[in-house]
């Protein structure tokens, strides 16, 4: 498989605090890759740096051979990357339909509405609630909406930041099943996730991040066999 996303020597700092230290990672076409780590490890900082939401202090980010690390977020989106933020961040006072249309970057009129119909076909509960205010949805439905909104721009790579946060176990399992369906549609995924058990169930490859540094990486099977992963993240 060819490399789609290449992150090399990434450094992110907030004032004197170094949140990400020399991170190297990649995502190939058609893959799901996960960044595993505890809260505060720097996972979200990596995702936000790729998306252009924070400016790296050092290193490079390239997507399909194009440098991204100096681009603004809307330009990163135009290159084919979409972001599902931590905590969902739906527009609570807008309807489901209006939220979806907010993600339709570069689409207008009939094209935007046609894409919206495609997304609602992927997520039938959203169609049933299209006129409902997003703030009245359950947590799982809001996460579905946040994913649908990101997919409105028809990305080649989806960045998912802590997608399982605050959701019931049954909903979390359905969410990761959904990630596999998205991958089956030709969209690669990079997710930052604390729930190692579920992430490793669907990921092709995972990285372990601790205190802003990559401490290891491997296939899902290799990571599940790791003593550190089993002890710290899988409960045994």
Q: What is the pLDDT of residues 89-132, one digit of tens each?
A: 999 999 999 999 999 977 778 899 899 999 999 999 999 999 99
Tell me how crowded residue 217 is: count the other CB atoms within 10 A of its CB.
Answer: 18
- Per-residue pLDDT for 236 more than 60? no
User: Is residue 64 assigned to a domain?
Assistant: no
pLDDT at 64: 95
Q: Which helix (H) or strand (E) holds 201?
A: helix 196-202
Show the domain range for 80.
30-56+71-232
pLDDT at 235: 59
User: Is residue 13 assigned to a domain?
Assistant: no
User: Is residue 35 assigned to a domain?
Assistant: yes
Q: In what order do the strands lie in the sheet with 81-84?
A: 81-84, 157-161, 188-193, 32-36, 205-210, 213-219
SS3 128: helix
- Per-residue pLDDT for 16 more than 60? yes
pLDDT at 234: 67
Tokens of 218: 């491997």
- Per-residue pLDDT for 229 more than 80? no
Closest by alpha carbon to 216, among 16, 2, 25? 25
Read off the CATH number of the domain in which 131 is found.
3.40.50.300
User: Is residue 219 assigned to a domain?
Assistant: yes
Section 220-229 average pLDDT:
84
User: Is residue 25 assigned to a domain?
Assistant: no
Tokens of 129: 């609630």
- Per-residue pLDDT for 174 more than 80? yes
User: Is residue 15 assigned to a domain?
Assistant: no
Count: domains in the chain? 1
Section 163-167 average pLDDT:
93
User: Is residue 21 assigned to a domain?
Assistant: no
């Amino acid at each position: 498989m060819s490399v789609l996303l290449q992150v090399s020597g990434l450094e992110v700092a907030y004032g004197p605090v170094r949140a990400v230290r020399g991170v190297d990672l990649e995502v190939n076409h058609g893959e799901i890759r996960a960044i595993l780590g505890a809260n505060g490890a720097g996972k979200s900082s990596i995702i936000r740096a790729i998306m252009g939401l924070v400016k790296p202090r050092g290193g490079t980010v390239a997507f399909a051979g194009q440098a991204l690390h100096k681009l603004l977020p809307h330009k990163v989106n135009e290159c084919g990357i979409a972001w599902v933020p931590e905590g969902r961040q739906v527009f609570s006072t807008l309807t489901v339909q209006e939220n979806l249309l907010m993600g339709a970057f570069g689409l207008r009129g009939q094209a935007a509405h046609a894409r919206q119909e495609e997304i609602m076909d992927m997520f039938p509960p959203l169609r049933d609630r299209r006129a409902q205010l997003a703030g009245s949805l359950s947590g799982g439905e809001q996460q579905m909406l946040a994913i649908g909104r990101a997919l409105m721009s028809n990305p080649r790579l989806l960045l998912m930041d802590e997608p399982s946060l605050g959701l019931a176990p049954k909903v979390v399992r359905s969410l990761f099943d959904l990630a596999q369906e998205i991958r089956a549609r030709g969209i690669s995924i990079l997710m930052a996730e604390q729930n190692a058990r579920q992430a490793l169930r669907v990921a092709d490859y995972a990285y372990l991040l601790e205190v802003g540094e990559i401490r290891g990486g491997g296939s899902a099977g290799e990571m599940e066999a790791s003593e550190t992963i089993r002890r710290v993240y899988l409960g045994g």
